[in-house]
Structure 1
Amino acid sequence: MQVLVRLDKDLYLKLDRLAKVLGVSRAEVMRRALKEYIARRERVESKTRKMRGIVKPKISLEELEKLYQSEGF
């Protein structure tokens, strides 16, 4: 599968330099970067989900929405 990505000139030059240093194609650098970005996001989302289980709200979401509506928010 192919994806077209537009980069500004500065970012493109950095990508090109990194590819040369690593001895891989620019596409390979992009693949690696995207994999790393997704992995980091998944770890953050996992931590957030775990934290939600630790903190117990005092009121429900519905009660909070009613409170905001009654206060004119």
Structure 2
Amino acid sequence: MLVITCLLDRVAVPESALNIAKERPKTWLVGLPLCGHNMLNEKGNDIKRLMVEFILNTPSDEVKSAKLK
């Protein structure tokens, strides 16, 4: 699982992302600096890069098992 949070978000606070990541093994947790609640407009290119990196580095058996949960 990939969890991305904006470190300056006061609505979806970063602590919530941390709690989600703690519950799932092998979770990538990324905190984007200088980013508030408008994540896609503020850090869209960073998010695209992180998603591609995550997909390319996640073994297919882990993706399949995640779908079953």
More helix by share: 1
Structure 1 or 2, whichever has the larger Rg, is 1
Relative contact order, CA 8 A, sep 6+: which one is greater? 2
The two structures have a TM-score, normalised by structure 1, of 0.30
The two structures have a TM-score, normalised by structure 2, of 0.32
